[in-house]
Each structure stands twice: as structure tokens, then as C-alpha cells.
Structure 1
């Protein structure tokens, strides 16, 4: 039976459908990365993802929003390259490397600490006072990671955890820098330029690591192809577009829920689809980390909504994390 919604009901329902897409798709990208890097070298996988997604996105938005007076300038391109380098090369690239040794749900829970690092880095960069809520959130996040790593069996790959933690710091630093960097007005133009420059950089780094010599196209599994395709189209194009939409029509507090829903989705999908082990340490450590993110999101006033200065998403991700707020927000946080 076909249900036809009135325009009013459709307009009320559509933002929530888009938010659910952000919750599920961005939460699923960690599993996509896990499958992609099984038979595709990690930096080549990440580079292909961002270069293809960036070129496709720019082909759609560039003709309308990157011409004439809106043509990106050299400062715009430089900023996009810096942000793409920090967020996508350093952030997503290191997560891809780390997920060679970690379960996707585990990696997602570590990445969930990014909002805490963002507020801390913003406070250091602006020399503003770090509030008690931020310090408590940082302490909770640290304890949560310790619980994750100290689980039964002691078989957690410490190198993988360190790579993902460094990715978090780079992602947070790039997000803070993006708040004041000169960028094109249209957010999809910004994102496409970041993806393109990051994709090229990742290919260069892949070459330096010898990944082109390691690549055996005939040996790439169906799961890896599907994982890569999911990352390109669902994770980098569909979910990002959905995020930009909900960010323009829903309250900021509602939009920010993705920051603590995504890791939960990642853990559930990793266990249900990939058979990843979810022990007591994952439940407890994950709950502590999510609590730290909830504290950061809830502890400060929301800035005025703007989609023109949106910060590119996580590592997922890539890829997105809540805006850290203005220096005034940090002072009163």
C-alpha cells in the first residue's frame, strides 16, 4: 500500500530521515574502512576514496558555486590543502592504518574523543581558560581509552591505538584551524577541494610507503570493493549532504547527537556483520567515552547556526565533530 504524505508532513519528516542517515552511515564507515583495507593498502584506499568523492562532488557544485566572483583563490586553495592534510590525510589516513590492527568498533570509540580534543586545542590556541567540564571530559575520555586498551587478554595492538589517537589530535587541530581559515563560501566547494588535495597527498604518501608495489588488483576482494564504494558514495557524498541539510534545519543540539550515536552504531555493526568481539571493557570504556562527549556537547552554549563555515567531517568521519564554539564559548564553558 502506497502512503502519500502531505507536503507539510514530508517537510517535518525529511530532516529526521536525514539525521538517521547521518547516524547510521557515518557510524558504518569504520566497518567500510575495515573491509577496504583487508586487500587494498590503507593509504591507497583512503586516497582513492577522497579523490573520487572530491572530483564527483566538485563536478556537481563547481559549475554553479566556483565560478566568476566565487572562484577559489590561492588562499582558499592553501587553506583547503592544510585542512585536508590535517583532517583527511592525518586523521582518516591514520585511522585507515590503525584499522589494520584494530576492530572497527574499537577504533570508532577512540575517535569519539575528538570533540574533547577540539575544545582543549581551541582553548590552548586562543589562550582561554579550560573549564571544569572540559577537564572532566578529558579525564573521562582518557579513562575510557585506558579501559578499552586494558581489556581481558591484553591483545590490543598499542601501535594501532596510538595511530588512531594521533589521528584524533590532527583532526581536532584541523577543525579548529578551519574556523578562521579563508575558505570559499559554499561548504560543498570547500569539502570537495579538501578531498581532492587530500586524495592527491595520500597517493604520494602511498607511493613513498611502497603501496603501489603491494597492490594486487586481481586479489582485491569483493568485500574490499564494496567497502570502498560505500565509503565513496554513502560515507563521503550521501551522508555529508544529509549532514549539511540537517545542520540547516534542525537545532544544533539535535544535530550534535551524531557525535555519540556514531560510535555506538559502529560497535553494533562491527559485532553484527564482522563478528567483532565486544567484551566488558568495550561496553564500559565505550560508555565512559560517550559520556565524555555528551558532557562536551551539553556543557556549553550553542553558537549561531551557520552552514557556510561548516567543518569537514571523521574521520567519520571523518568524518564530523561538533563545532568547538567561539573563544567566548570556551571561556564560559
Structure 2
């Protein structure tokens, strides 16, 4: 997805898609206009377009349909609703659909020593008050953790970005940032951040930047700081199983660096050949620990999780110099 609808339209002309999930409130061009622009192109008359918006009224659905969209889904997104809606417009085998819906049944619950029911192996997420999202969206643990990591990387400083936009008198950017945060936080189950983002969005729209607004921003920043700290702690615990013990020398940095940079470029471009290139890198340095160190990257690429693969590779790059120093 591109950062605005104008760039999304250009992307549509370059690639083929089975359907479009259209975010209504985007900078430069909103989703309604983008849908009209798409429908004006003869080759996309029948391409399914599904509106995604935080607004859930019948009026919002009517407006989406009037502007050429096929259906409307409100955020935070319900997994079962999304799968069923997509199945209306994308041909899928019935057994595949049944399997997807069965995977979204209630998560496994086990009794903890205090007698409280919690999703299995998700006590850290419980402390972040995120089980409500697991029950609503029925996310698997791995996918949920991946979404949390993305949130930590992309949204940690968003309230500071809103402050900067306000200071520059760019209210529309500030509103867009708050609106986007509201939806993303809701989707991962961070309900307190989502609620605070919604309040901030309303204050910005009404230009109510008084003392109460400043107090709200201060509280929201504290909430975000605690949330990011919890996610980062979860990331450390989750990554423990992927630690590779390095006892052999690493290849010289000047030999390894061009290959790692090439791999990073391919991953950043979401290039499907990245996994094959990773195999080439492992073969090139097969007598070194590189293959083991790249396992987390391989695992992510095998599931087409490019953002997670990029994060794992970045972490490896940051650690290589330390590993080389420790092995001297």
C-alpha cells in the first residue's frame, strides 16, 4: 500500500489485484474520489472495491456504494466479517473458506494458577490489554506479535509527529495522523490508545487546542510509552528462541556487506526472489555461521512477511559488528 491514494492509483496500473481494500480517509485523495477514478477506467469496471472506515453508520455504507464500491467494512476489522466479505467477490474453494473460518474460532484457553482464563501463552499480551483483539479478530499468536512489532516500529513517535504538524499549522496532517492511529491501534487491540487518538482527532477537527487538549496529549504519550515498552519486552521474549550461538568466525565485513545490502534491497522492494537470493548468500558463506544467523529472515520470507524479514535483517546488521568484535 502506498502512503496516499494518488500513489495507490499508479500502483494499480502497474500490477494486478483481485480486490481493493479502500481506506476512506487518506491524504491527497480520499477513498471516495479514488473509487470514482478507478471506476472511470474501463478495465476496472468489475474490480471489487471494499471500503474500510472507522465510521459504521448506514449513511457511510450508502455513500461508499454510491461512489462505486461494492461493500463497506467498519474498523476495527472483524476477521470473520472480512473473510466472508472477501469470499463474496473473490472465487475461492469452499473447503478453503471453511478452513479459514474454523481457524478463527475461539482461541485456546487454559486455566492459570489464579484461576483466570487467558489465551494460551499470551500472558504478556494480556498485560497490554490485548486479548479483546484476539477474541474479536481471532488472530494467531505469530500474526498478532508481527502486527505489534510493526506498530512499535511505525507508530512509537506518532504523537510527537502530531505535535510537529500542529506547530507548523498543518492541521489536516495532524488530523490524518490521529485518524490513522485510531484505526491501527484498534486493529491490534490497543483500545486505550485508540480511544485517546479518537479524542485527539475530534479536538483537532474542532480546533479545541486548549489546556484539556494538552493534558490529553500528555496522557496519550504516557499510554503509548507503556505500550511500546511492553511490546518491545514481548519482542525480546519472543526472539529468545531464535538466538544463534556463534562459535566460528564470521566472514570479513567487506565480503559479506554487498550480499547483505543486496538482500536488504530486495526485501525492501517486496521482491519475491529475495528467498532465492538468501539461499545464494547462505551457499556463498556456507562454512560460516551466516546461515544460522539468517534463519529468522528465512522464516519470515517463507511466509512472505517482508516487513518482519526486514526487521530481522536490520537487527542482524546491527549485531554483526558486535559479534565480530566478541570473536576476536
Richer in helix (by share)? 1
State the TM-score, normalized to the length of structure 2.
0.28
Richer in strand (by share)? 2
Q: In terms of Rg, which structure is larger? A: 2
State the TM-score, normalized to the length of structure 1.
0.27
Structure with more relative contact order (C-alpha pairs < 8 Å, separation 6 or more) = 1
